[in-house]
Amino acid sequence: MKLTDMKDNTGATHRKMRVGRGIGSGKGKTSGRGVKGQKSRSGVAIKGFEGGQMPLHRRLPKRGFNNIFRPSLVEVTLARLQRAVDSGKLAAGSVDEAGLVASGVVRRARDGIRIVATGEITAKLDLTVHGASAGAVAAIEKAGGSVAVIKPKAEAAA
């Protein structure tokens, strides 16, 4: 088989509509855009415009806020930790943030690492992380390990 022999399945693609090619085509003269006005021109973007009436997104009250100082923690599941131990990337025993990054469990630590209780763990790990859910701590301790929670980097700097 050659690249020139390849073609799409029948009916998978539609021919592009050629507009503005005579009134007999059905899409001639105004090309299906109606007559005159802003919307008949190119480059129109009037999302949310309500004809001069105050738009809905400006009538509704603002609510809530985003805390720019909130530490950005990377979440790691129990299943991900167990997979890393099973594949030999992570050695059972004492593990900290640098060890998780070096083993490839997480790409970068950001402001810290948080363990969440998704999946199961059977390996005995002594983790030093910046956060852990109650379920994750219980599962790790049940497997014979321990979890030491330290303050995230952003809080420690402040």
Residue 112, number of CB atoms within 10 A of its CB: 21
Residue 140 gets which letter from DSSP? Answer: H
Distance between CA atoms of residues 79 and 56, nearest Å: 45
Q: Each residue of 101-116: pLDDT tens digit?
A: 999 999 998 999 999 9
What are the helix (H) ranges across the chain?
A: 56-59, 78-86, 97-103, 134-142, 153-157
Domains recognised in the chain with CATH numbers: 16-64 (no CATH), 73-157 (3.100.10.10)
Q: What is the pLDDT of residue 4?
A: 93
Token code pair at residue 134? 């109650």
Report the percentage of the chain scoring pLDDT > 90: 77
Q: Each residue of 29-84: pLDDT tens digit?
A: 999 999 998 888 888 878 888 888 999 999 999 999 999 999 999 999 999 999 99
Residue 69 gets which letter from DSSP? Answer: T
Backbone angles phi, psi at 125, to 5 degrees: -120, 135
